Amino acid sequence: MTDTLIINSEIALAKAQKQLADLWREKKYLEVKISRKASQRTLTQNAAMHLFFGWLADALNDAGKDMRRTLRHDVDIPWTPESVKEHLWRPIQKAMTEKHSTTEITTVEPTAIHEVLSRHLGERLGLVCPAWPKRDQEAA
C-alpha cells in the first residue's frame, strides 16, 4: 500500500499525524519517504506580481528612467507593467530559478526575486523600488 500525504497546513499536519499513528498501530511497521518542495506560486501571488509590475513601471517613469537604454537610445520609451516583467523581472527570475514562466515559480521565489531586483535598481539607478504588494492592496 502506498499513500501520498500532502501536508500544507496545520490541519493537514494533524490529519497526517493521526493517519501515521493509526497505520503504526495496525502494522507496527512504516516506511516513510519525505519530499520537501515549495508549491507553485498562488493566484494571489500572481496578482501581486502584476500589481508590482505596474507600480515599478510608474516609479521608473516618474524617476525619468525610460527604456531607451534597453531598446533605442534616441527615443524615450515609457515603462509598462509588461515591459517591467519582460526586461527586469524575467531575466532575474531566469538567472535565479532557471524558470522562464512566472507560472512555474514557487511560493517563496517571488519575494527573493523582488529583493534582488530592488537591490539592483537601488545600486544602479538610485531608485527606491516599490515594496511588495500586501494582500489587501489593489491597483490605484
Q: From first to last of its 140 residues, what are the pLDDT tens digits of the chain?
A: 567 887 877 888 899 899 999 988 998 988 888 877 777 778 888 889 999 999 999 999 998 888 875 456 677 788 999 999 999 999 999 999 999 999 899 988 999 999 999 999 999 889 899 999 987 776 54
In angstroms, rounded to a whole number, what is the distance separating the alpha carbons of residues 71 and 77?
8
In angstroms, rounded to a whole number, what is the distance separating the alpha carbons of residues 114 and 132?
7
pTM for this prediction: 0.60
Question: What is the residue type of 91?
Answer: P
| Cell numbers 508590482: residue | 52
